[in-house]
């Protein structure tokens, strides 16, 4: 199992992000929301992570949550690809106003996304 999160998998291009927001499908589970778009035209899956500045004013808090979301994705990549596909654009959001108590809380919500 490859547990890496290489640069090629990171959602960074503006055209990919705008395509995702125009045609993507939203799913929410617990404190995690995902927008996903699958197509045969997409050559490789890409994943982005975002945390609201409205709820978390300090950059250190936002960065911590983004690190946790990336780590959850990295360790559960196999299940993620089975659910959302190899040719997809995805973006994860943390939508709660409160900080998670632990990594396990984020991982629990992330794994619930696969059951929807």
The region, left, alpha or beta by phi > 0 then psi within -120 to 50, assigned to residue 109 is: alpha
Q: What is the pLDDT of residue 29?
A: 92
In the chain the beta strands, taken as DSSP E runs, fall at: 25-29, 32-38, 46-51, 88-94
Please state the pTM of the whole predicted model: 0.91
SS3 category, 54: coil
Per-residue pLDDT of the chain (116 residues; tens, 9 = 90+): 678 899 999 999 999 999 999 999 999 999 999 999 999 889 999 999 999 999 999 999 999 999 999 999 999 999 999 999 899 999 999 999 999 999 999 999 999 988 87
Joined together, the tokens standing for residue 46 give: 């890409």
Query: What is the Cα gyration radius of the chain?
Result: 14
């Amino acid at each position: 199992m490859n547990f890496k999160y290489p640069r090629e998998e990171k959602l960074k291009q503006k055209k990919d992000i705008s395509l995702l927001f125009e045609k993507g499908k939203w799913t929410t589970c617990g404190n995690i929301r995902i927008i996903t778009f699958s197509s045969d035209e997409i050559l490789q899956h890409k994943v982005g992570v975002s945390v609201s500045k409205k709820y978390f004013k300090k950059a250190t808090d936002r960065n911590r949550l983004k690190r946790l979301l990336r780590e959850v994705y990295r360790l559960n990549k196999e299940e993620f690809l089975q659910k959302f596909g190899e040719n997809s654009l995805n973006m994860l959001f943390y939508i709660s106003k409160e900080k998670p108590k632990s990594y396990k809380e984020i991982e629990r919500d992330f794994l619930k996304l696969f059951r929807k």
